A = this chain, B = another copy of it.
Amino acid sequence: MSAELEDIHEECGIFGVWGHPDAARLTYFGLHALQHRGQEGAGIVANDNGQLTGHRGKGLLTQVFNDEREIQRLAGDRAIGHVRYATAGSGGSDNIQPFIFRFHDGDMALCHNGNLTNCPSLRRQLEDGGAIFHSNSDTEVLMHLLRRSSQRTFMDKLKEALNTVHGGFAYLIMTTDAMIGALDPNGFRPLSLGKMKNGAYVLASETCALDIVGAELVRNIRPGEIVVVDDHGYKITQYTNQTQLAICSMEFIYFARPDSDIYGVNVHSARKRMGARLAVESPVDADMVIGVPNSSLSAASGYAEASGLPNEMGLIKNQYVARTFIQPTQELREQGVRMKLSAVRGVVKGKRVVVIDDSIVRGTTSKRIVQLLKEAGAAEVHMRISSPPLKYPCFYGIDISTTKELIAAKKSVDEIRDFIGADSLAFLSLDGLIESIGLGAKAPYGGLCVAYFNGDYPTALDDYESAFLKSLTPEDRVRLPEFALYKSKYEGNEYHAGPPQSEQPQDQ
């Protein structure tokens, strides 16, 4: 996990398997590989010949499933599962997925990764039509649309529903006789189909979850696609042809596990290229490079190799600290008790260090890192960020909903440097980011969503647009000249909707 990005949460990870006698257990392992995508809640629903049984709970997967019997109870050769971050506020465990719905014509389960831009208005319309909601989450909306659709077949109902919701989403649905995945028209989130040695099919948010269960990648699911897995195999169809790849660049920068491949691009390698590019763009005369553990170690390695500086372990993360119930008091904190990160005095004392981090959100963690290193005797601290400045909120599933919390939305690079107390500060350029990732899709920004950096959202913002525009002060508008809402929004067939260039050899 990154230092600063710990405060930015992605919504979820999803995993499903069809056709393995130990389906719930496999789902458990698959979700384990996706645990970094959501640590506040987890659930699995198994399908035993059409009978759906589930178990959900708060906390890490190991806390929710702390007893072998919980897995054994989830019988059946099909299962889907979910890990999630809790949203603030009320409702708590009611929001943990997958949700099970009980119908006279068969049960269904549903889980979801993403955020809908027109959810508030859809909810309101549905409620006006008598719909009742158990959760705060966007997920239930799809099920209401599906059940209320006037289309005749299940697939037609589903397509209608998917065309009604807007924004970023990867859905995973378990019906009595099929497992279905669906991706939004921009493919904001990754979703991959794999196949196990015994022939079972697997759907997962990241390829690392295919690896953990020994599955081979069959095909990445692409924007606007529905994949249906049943006893006859899998079948992929389009529910819309108005697609344009805009995968979240944050997946490459921070969220995804380094051993995952996204459209054929290995995440660790992409990060290393970002670090190398950063070394070229913003070199420093220093003694060593230090990565902020754990998510910036790849970029630091790239920076070190490109710059010829040694790559040192000058910061260390306490790996057991994550879930401690006992916290330092404020007084102890002031006396220097620090749990998460420590600076390694024996490494940095008297040295000029380049610190590589993957981004700056509020700036408070960066400030603490600089302070830790200086207290440990570092002679100079040069901060290098392997992504451009974060200035705009995300409406597709990352928990940055206003610009207020983003230091780069308010301050210049020099002002940020002064705030965090570094001797110098530089960010990777937007072009540097896009070229380092190297997806190469025939879509704006090479197929990436980079709206957090330049405000160019690839879709309409729907229910969020008005509040977002209002949140920009006149001053903001002047200081943010690159602001270009919807510049890259899909307006027809001008962009290529196929897989990015990078993926061509992998799964075709």
Contact = CB atoms under 8 A, between A and B. Distances in A.
Interface of A: 22, 25-26, 28-29, 32-33, 35-36, 51-56, 60-62, 65-68, 70-71, 90-94, 99-105, 107, 120, 123-124, 127, 129-136, 140, 143-144, 147-148, 196-198, 208, 211-214, 257-259, 261, 264-269, 272, 294, 297-298, 301, 305, 310-313, 316, 318-321, 323-326, 328-329, 331-332, 335-339, 342-347
Nearest to A301: B311
A105 to B, nearest CB: 8
A318 B33 contact: yes
Contacts of A134: 99-102, 134
Contact of A94 (B54, B268, B272): B54
A298 B25 CA distance: 35
A325 B32 contact: no
A66 B305 contact: no
Given A319-B319, A329-B25, A32 B339 contact: yes
Contacts of A124: 104
A147 B130 contact: yes
Q: Give the residue among A120, A211, A213 with the most B Cβ atoms within 10 A.
A: A211
A80 to B, nearest CB: 15
Contacts of A213: 332, 335-337
Nearest to A133: B102
Given A92-B54, A134-B102, A198-B335, A316 B144 contact: no
B133 A101 contact: yes
Nearest to A71: B326
Nearest to A121: B104
Contact of A268 (B29, B52, B212, B344): B344
A263 to B, nearest CB: 11
Contact of A102 (B56, B104, B136, B326): B136
A150 to B, nearest CB: 10
Contacts of A104: 120, 123-124, 127
Contacts of A147: 127, 130-132
B197 A65 contact: no
Given A132-B144, A211-B342, A29 B328 contact: yes
